[in-house]
Amino acid sequence: MNIGEIARRAGVARSTVSYALSGKRPVAEATAKRINDVISELGYRPNASARALAEGRTRTLGLVIPPAGARLTGVQLGFVAGVVEAAAAHDLDVLVSPSGGRHDRSFERIVAGRRVDGVVLMEILLDDPRVARLEDSGLPFVTIGHVQDPGASWWVDVDYAALIRRCVHHLADLGHEEVVLVNRSAELVASGYGPAARSTAGFLEAAGERGVRAHVVTCPDEPGAGFACFEDIRTRLPG
């Protein structure tokens, strides 16, 4: 079934059907109703590729997640679900793609191939080449997290440094003299992962202001690792 058949049955020109489907030009209410009635009767669904060519847009967003081999945390899965829900509310699809390491080609295909209308990029490093690549491409994007110098780019983030500073001041107010920051994994910290770096900076700054002894440890995002890390802290740092 194609636009020509719809036009024939509705008694209108092909271009009128095209305008009714795309919304590019106004169509008389009675004519639009006749076209929609025929579409409903025939069960017509426009071809997504043809529609993308005609409209100059894919009606798809790219969501770039951490490497597929890495297990997503509950918080990360919450971000993914939030993006998918918000996109669906605007009649948009979401193309989920991993990045990092051997997955960089997948990210490049999304950008260079213009397979999406815009990109949401998760897990940002202080110096993130993916952000620079998107800036060069001219493809609209927003990041969950931000690079060291975000410039005019659009991003959403938590103020990790302020959050951790408040935690340290709270513990110091309670009279504690030795505090520990349990940070993300050693690999993420070494990679320049933004939240981990900002948390450490805020922690050490506040500890210095309050004169408390500060320790930073790293811990993978797994319950078992969390228990082991806590037991290690209790053994090495009983204070």
Token couple for 76: 């990360």
HSE at residue 63, side-chain half, CA atoms within 13 A, is 19
Q: Model confidence over 144-170: pLDDT tens digits?
A: 999 999 988 899 999 999 999 999 999
Query: From the centroid of its chain, how far is CA 23?
Result: 29
Q: Where are the alpha helices (DSSP H) in the chain?
A: 3-10, 14-22, 29-42, 48-55, 74-89, 104-112, 129-137, 160-173, 186-191, 194-210, 223-236
What type of residue sits at position 72?
L
Rounded Cα distance between 79 and 100, Å, is 18
pTM of whole model > 0.95? no
Q: Which helix (H) or strand (E) holds 159?
A: none
Q: Tell me, what amino acid is at 117?
A: D
pLDDT by residue (tens digit) across 109-132? 888 888 899 999 998 999 999 999
The whole-number pLDDT of residue 198 equals 96
CA gap 236, 207 in Å, rounded: 19
Tens-place pLDDT, residues 40-80: 877 766 655 555 545 567 889 999 988 655 677 888 899 99
If one counts every other C-beta atom within 10 angstroms of the C-beta of residue 216, the result is 16
Using alpha carbons only, what angle is made at residue 161 by residues 85 and 80, rounded to the nearest 5 degrees? 15
Mean of the per-residue pLDDT values of the chain: 87
In this structure, how many other beta carbons lie within 10 angstroms of the beta carbon of residue 10?
A: 20
